């Protein structure tokens, strides 16, 4: 159940979960915008957490224990992409521990077994590609997919930071993440969204059409939900519009009045 993680800042605890090929480094600089106690782990198969990934529900239990061991019985939760799917699992399994939930570019999963089976096949093929061709070859492919096209407009220094973080991953770790935590292996959470009892904030970029469509549907299912779109942003809003992302997340968290559950 071991994670590498860092804790920075003071105030109410906020657990931040990065996306696929990311690490705790993903959230670099956000502490300047978020006046909270930020807990940033490297998820299984990523960064300095060398442990291979289990399924989302198991990993959610591990994170809950990690936070309890760190002294946090409840906390705010922020998740991006893969980390958002993990955050959703954690919030559904342990609602008493999650004061509020922020989901950036997140999907509740695929709705039928046929779709999931096709995605598992695709994820397995990708996992084998990583194992056979190595991380550098995979990163070249990953950076070329349409979902990350908007990142090519970022300053070169930012692009290089993102690429360096991706290249620092291990083939074994990424492959395990795809097989165990990929969208194909994930249970569908669509029917459980109505069970979320905490305030929820959905964040998407207007250039990320797929996740904009998903968020629109999610916003109709989640009881206490706010949805904010970032004009001109793609999938990784916290990278592309970091300051605005930090300001909006900060405002949402501060509005929770000490973490009390509320629909306001």
Sign of the torsion formed by the C-alpha atoms of 103, 167, 244 and 236: negative
Given a cut of 70, whether residue 115 has pLDDT beyond it is yes
Q: Do 108 and 220 meet the contact criterion of CB atoms below 8 Å apart?
A: no
Span 241-263, mean pLDDT?
A: 80
| All residues at 6 or more sequence positions from 194 whose CB lies less than 8 Å from its CB, including other chains | 221, 222, 223
Q: What is the pLDDT of residue 2?
A: 84
Tell me the pairing of strands 37-42 and 4-8. Answer: antiparallel
Q: Kindly report, residue by residue over 79-102, the tens digit of the pLDDT.
A: 999 999 999 999 999 999 999 999
pLDDT one-digit tens code per residue, 118-154: 999 999 999 999 999 999 999 999 999 999 999 999 9
pLDDT-derived band at 263 (thresholds 50, 70, 90) equals: very low
| d(C-alpha 38, C-alpha 163), whole Å | 24
DSSP reduced 3-state for 42: strand
What is the distance between the alpha carbons of residues 225 and 69, in angstroms, rounded to a whole number? 30
**SS3 for 166?**
helix
Q: DSSP states of 157-192 as a string?
A: HHHHHHHHHHHTS-HHHHHHHHHHHSTTTSPP-GGG
Percent of the chain with pLDDT over 70: 97
Cα gap 46→33, rounded to integer Å: 25
pLDDT (mean) for 215-220: 97
Q: What is the pLDDT of residue 259?
A: 43
User: How far is Cα 144 from Cα 130, in angstroms, rounded to an integer?
Assistant: 15
Check whether 264 has a pLDDT greater than 80: no
**Which pLDDT tens digit goes with each residue over 25-49?**
999 989 899 999 999 999 999 999 9
Determine the average pLDDT of the residues in 154-177. Answer: 96
Distance CA 224, CA 106 (A): 17
pLDDT in tens, 44-78: 999 999 899 999 999 999 999 999 999 999 999 99
Per-residue pLDDT band for 1 (boundaries 50, 70, 90) equals: low
Question: Mean pLDDT across the stretch 232-244?
Answer: 96
CB within 8 Å of 241: residues ≥ 6 apart? 205, 230, 232, 233
pLDDT in tens, 173-184: 999 999 999 999
Extract the tokens encoding 70.
């760190």
Banded model confidence at residue 257, pLDDT cuts 50, 70, 90: low
Mean pLDDT over residues 190-194, rounded? 97
Q: Where are the domains of the chain?
A: 4-110+187-254
Class of domain 4-110+187-254: alpha beta
Give pLDDT, residue 50: 86
Give the pLDDT of residue 67.
97
Give the model's confidence band at 235: pLDDT under 50 very low, under 70 low, under 90 confident, else very high: very high
Give residue 260's pLDDT. Answer: 44
Average pLDDT of every residue of the chain: 94
Check residue 262 and give its pLDDT.
Answer: 35
Residue 16 in contact with residue 67, Cβ under 8 Å?
Answer: no
């Amino acid at each position: 159940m071991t994670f590498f993680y860092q804790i920075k800042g003071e105030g109410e605890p906020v657990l931040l979960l990065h996306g696929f090929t990311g690490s705790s480094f993903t959230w670099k600089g956000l502490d300047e915008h978020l006046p909270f106690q930020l807990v940033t782990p490297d998820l299984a198969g990523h960064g300095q957490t060398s442990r291979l990934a289990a399924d989302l529900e198991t990993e959610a239990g591990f994170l809950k224990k990690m936070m309890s061991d760190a002294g946090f019985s409840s906390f705010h939760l922020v998740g991006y992409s893969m980390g958002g799917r993990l955050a959703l699992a954690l919030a559904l399994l342990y609602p008493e521990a999650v004061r509020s939930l922020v989901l950036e570019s997140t999907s509740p999963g695929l709705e039928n077994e046929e779709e999931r089976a096709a995605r598992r096949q695709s994820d397995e093929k990708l996992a084998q590609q990583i194992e056979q061709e190595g991380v550098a070859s995979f990163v070249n492919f990953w950076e070329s997919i349409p979902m990350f096209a908007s990142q090519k407009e970022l300053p070169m220094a930012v692009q290089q930071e993102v690429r360096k973080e991706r290249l620092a991953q291990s083939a074994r770790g990424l492959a395990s993440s795809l097989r165990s935590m990929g969208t194909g292996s994930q249970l569908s959470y669509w029917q459980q969204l109505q069970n979320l009892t905490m305030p929820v904030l959905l964040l998407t970029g207007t250039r990320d059409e797929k996740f904009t469509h998903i968020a629109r549907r999610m916003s109709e299912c989640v009881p206490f939900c706010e949805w904010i779109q970032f004009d001109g942003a793609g999938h990784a809003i916290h990278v592309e519009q970091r300051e605005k992302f930090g300001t909006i997340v900060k405002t949402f968290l501060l509005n929770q009045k000490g973490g009390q559950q509320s629909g306001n």
